[in-house]
Amino acid sequence: MLRLLGDKPLGARDAPVVARVLNADPVACCMVAARFETHGIDPRLLGGELWTADDPATSLCFSGANLIPLIGTSADMNYFAERALSSSRVCSSIVGDSDHVLAMWDRLCPAWGPAREVRPAQPLLALSGPPLVAPDPGVRLVTLDDLDVYLPAAVEMFIGEVGVDPCAGDGGRSYRRRLAALISAQRVFARFDGAAVVFKAEIGSLSRRVGQIQGVWVDPTRRGQGFGAGGTAAVAAAVQAQGRIPSLYVNSFNLPARSVYQRIGFTEVGTFATVLVD
């Protein structure tokens, strides 16, 4: 039996089961595992709630700024969608396993739609061995002293990827703080040419086992010169040096990027989908 809507989020007694679920598929679960391993299961610290339809060992979903279905049946996805509809929407996107996300969106769309964009097939990639492309030695960690130079490239990447200006609303203060936090955590990489960013990438989520690379961008005037391959290989090598698996997901239609990642040695381990909700 599905529980009634309005059930409380999972609590401390559920944490061991949640940990086992997240550890069973560390690449697909990296975004949630990174939060769970750092903050535990308390929603106030986790930045969202963990839900189950009946048993967290067989159905699990994270609800926060992103709605992330992790495991479950089609009936469980319907339950999670109904639960999301039972209160005000807090997420700006739904992301995760393609089948789960699209099943939830079918139920959510009449109330939350139309979506700003639906990306139904995003190959989820992981690198199991050393990069097959030589890492670019010019790629380095970004420091706080670099932030003013790095910020315009990050904004351009964000607009191109998400279709929204991260500086809208508060003049970019929140986005700048987020970048500063990632830089302080040594999770931002770039290649600079004087005062210009040639290549950039970030480790968006970092669990004990996986580093999920995001925000890969090359200056449009420098594309086709190998900076994307060498730069991504350098970031992947940095993740591996920490004893973690490098991972990322990419839009299926982005054939140039998919070709680059394949040359580096990334292989497909799943398929994600993302629904960007207005």
Average of pLDDT values for 130-138?
98
Tokens matching residue 112 = 């939350």
Q: What is the pLDDT of residues 230-264, one digit of tens each?
A: 999 999 999 999 999 999 999 999 999 999 999 99
CA gyration radius for the chain?
19
* 245-249 vs 210-218, strand pairing mode: parallel
Q: What is the pLDDT of residues 35-73, one digit of tens each?
A: 999 999 999 999 999 999 999 999 999 999 999 999 999
> What pLDDT was estimated at residue 162?
84
- Percent residues over pLDDT 90 in the chain: 92
Q: What is the pLDDT of residues 176-221, one digit of tens each?
A: 999 999 999 999 999 999 989 999 999 999 999 999 999 999 999 9
CA distance 107 to 122: 21
pTM of the model: 0.94
Q: Over the chain, what is the mean pLDDT? A: 95
Confidence band (pLDDT; 50, 70, 90) for 2? very low
| DSSP tally for the chain: helices H, then strands E | 9, 11
Q: Identify the DSSP state of 14.
A: G
> What pLDDT was estimated at residue 96?
98
Q: Are 236 and 268 in contact (CB under 8 A)?
A: no
